[in-house]
Amino acid sequence: MTTKPVHVVGGGLAGSEAAWQLAEAGVPVVLHEMRPVRKTDAHQTDHLAELVCSNSFRADDWAGNAVGLLHAEMRKLGSLIMASGDANQVPAGGALAVDRDGFSAAVTKALHEHPLIEIARGEIAGLPSPEWDNVIVATGPLTSAPLADAIRQLTDERALAFFDAIAPIVHRDSIDMNVAWFQSRYDKVGPGGNGADYINCPMTKDQYDAFVTALIEGEKVDFKEWETSTPYFDGCLPVEVMAERGHETLRHGPMKPVGLTNPHNPTVKPYAIVQLRQDNKLGTLYNIVGFQTKLKHGAQQRVFRTIPGLENAEFARLGGLHRNTFLNSPKLLDQQLRLRAQPRLRFAGQMTGCEGYVESASVGLIAGLYAAANARGQELTAPPATTALGSLLGHITGGHIETIDSGPRSFQPMNINFGLFPPLASPPTKKPDGSRLRGNEKTVAKKQAMSARALADLDRWIADHIRVAAAA
Ligand SMILES: Cc1cc2nc3c(=O)[nH]c(=O)nc-3n(C[C@H](O)[C@H](O)[C@H](O)COP(=O)(O)OP(=O)(O)OC[C@H]3O[C@@H](n4cnc5c(N)ncnc54)[C@H](O)[C@@H]3O)c2cc1C
């Protein structure tokens, strides 16, 4: 077993959790954090694990909510982020919200006091030293430019930091297929496709006119001043900006009604068509093609549910636009979150393509466990795909499918959601009293069954892999 320390770069949500997991596994750590020597545009303090915006870890209901399930799984694995959140909870209904200063002070104190952790304040301004053979890079959405540039050169990607224009993602089973239909434009069979790869939603002229007006009038999120110097990702414009450029612009762009025939009404040509494209291998999630947007979340739900077929759409992720730094992970990282081009570098946190405080910390947790196993000369089996941790890692390292057509890279950061989980072999259909489950009851029962399956599978994984490693 090596006694060389693992170097963790970035003391945010992911890096702090990774350092904790390593140290608790008996592996020495040097945690490099550039603040306060070098600041970011969003962080305000020199605390580790600072929450840059909201103070919420979102729903804490493990049985009915995917992020609540992730909380439960992280608690089972001794997460410092969850323990510090629980100890600094403030009232917020069913959500876990925290006193932000108390929370990050608790994380900072625990890491400072751990005998196996050294905290080095300073920027890693380029690739980490070649002498460090086990490194976790967790520098987050606001990674400093010299490090981001060095990683970009190593990965041969065109960009790492950009204005991220994210399109909304819809749960497939919430789309009304009595209105929508499967078909690729001109029935074209692309690589990996079968000629019926898209879900199409038709619009009449009146519906299109009203939709364009609603897009233009919908409430938008303002740019922060420091965001104005970052370019749009691959020149991809928000849908409402396209709408503002001309009433017909969308009909000649993402909503063009050509090469498609509505089987529900074959003799009537739709005036415009909205297309959704499969987003994960399971086929449970679809993104709305070309609908990256700066509309506020409430406005998105209201306006996008006016699209025929999407009246009852459930969104796995709403669109958004903010500066971000993340890797094209399915292509660049291996199953153990290591950079294929230089496997001594492992990535964690938002840089890997997860979204949110809890998700970032959870990927930090797993990266810490993976790196600890490597430090012992072992390799840790990934958590089961049925768990929240496993399904999030699956999205990052391979669950996402590339666009069927050529175009801008399609992998985008994602919050945990039940659409990332493998479906149940036999979903519940009846209540304990034998009567049939209907409507929302059925959805709730399905989520509860997925959550119960996740926790049972995680317990087995911990017993088989984590406790065994600790005892070795
Ligand atoms: C403006 C903004 C608002 C957000 N609001 C929310 C929200 O409300 N809710 C939510 O869930 N998520 C939010 N996010 C996303 C949030 O940043 C992530 O969810 C989370 O903080 C990411 O965790 P992380 O550990 O990957 O990165 P961070 O928590 O950002 O940690 C990265 C750390 O690395 C350090 N660092 C960067 N470069 C270097 C370097 N070269 N050398 C050494 N250290 C370095 C940084 O100082 C930072 O401490 C927001 C993001 C941004 C940018």
Q: Which of 46, 80, 357, 412 to mutate to test the pocket of ligand 1 (most atoms within 8 A of CB)?
A: 357
52 lines ligand 1 (CB under 6 A): yes
Q: Which two tokens stand for residue 142?
A: 């606001």
Q: Which of 17, 34, 56 to mutate to test the pocket of ligand 1 (most atoms within 8 A of CB)?
A: 34
Give the residue whose CA is nearest to atom 35 of ligand 1: 10
85 lines ligand 1 (CB under 6 A): no
**Dist. CA 343 → ligand 1 center (Å):** 23
84 lines ligand 1 (CB under 6 A): no
Nearest to 48 by CA among 7, 87, 9, 77: 9
- In ligand 1, the atom with minimum distance to the C-alpha of 324 is 53
pTM, 2 dp: 0.79
Mean pLDDT in residue range 429-444: 92
95 lines ligand 1 (CB under 6 A): no
C-alpha to C-alpha distance for 407 and 124, rounded to whole angstroms: 33
**Dist. CA 32 → ligand 1 center (Å):** 14
Q: What is the pLDDT of residues 386-402, one digit of tens each?
A: 999 999 999 999 765 55
Q: Would you say 187 and 196 are in contact if contact means Cβ atoms under 8 Å apart?
A: yes
**Residues making up the chain, counted from first to last:** 472
320 lines ligand 1 (CB under 6 A): no
Nearest to 136 by CA among 398, 392, 394, 370: 370
- Which ranges constitute the DSSP H helices of 333-438? 357-375, 388-394
Residue 159 has pLDDT above 60, yes or no: no
Give the residue whose CA is nearest to atom 31 of ligand 1: 12
**Dist. CA 43 → ligand 1 center (Å):** 8
C-alpha to C-alpha distance for 323 and 161, rounded to whole angstroms: 7
Looking at residue 153, what is its pLDDT? 87
Q: Which of 20, 360, 363, 412 to mutate to test the pocket of ligand 1 (most atoms within 8 A of CB)?
A: 360
Based on its alpha-carbon atoms, the radius of gyration of the chain, rounded to whole angstroms, reads 23
Q: What is the pLDDT of residues 301-345, one digit of tens each?
A: 999 999 999 999 999 988 876 667 888 888 899 999 999 999 999
Give the residue whose CA is nearest to atom 30 of ligand 1: 140
**Dist. CA 218 → ligand 1 center (Å):** 29
13 lines ligand 1 (CB under 6 A): yes
Residue 182 CB neighbour total at 10 angstroms:
14
Q: What is the pLDDT of residues 281-304, one digit of tens each?
A: 788 889 898 898 889 999 999 999
142 lines ligand 1 (CB under 6 A): yes
Q: 3-state class of 400 per DSSP?
A: strand
Q: What is the pLDDT of residues 213-269, one digit of tens each?
A: 999 999 987 655 445 555 444 445 789 988 999 999 999 999 999 999 999 999 999
**Tokens 């409507």 -> residue:** 439
**Dist. CA 354 → ligand 1 center (Å):** 12
97 lines ligand 1 (CB under 6 A): no
Question: Cα-flanking dihedrals φ and ψ of residue 42, to 5°?
Answer: -120, -35
pLDDT band at 167 (very low <50, low <70, confident <90, very high): confident
Looking at residue 158, what is its pLDDT? 64
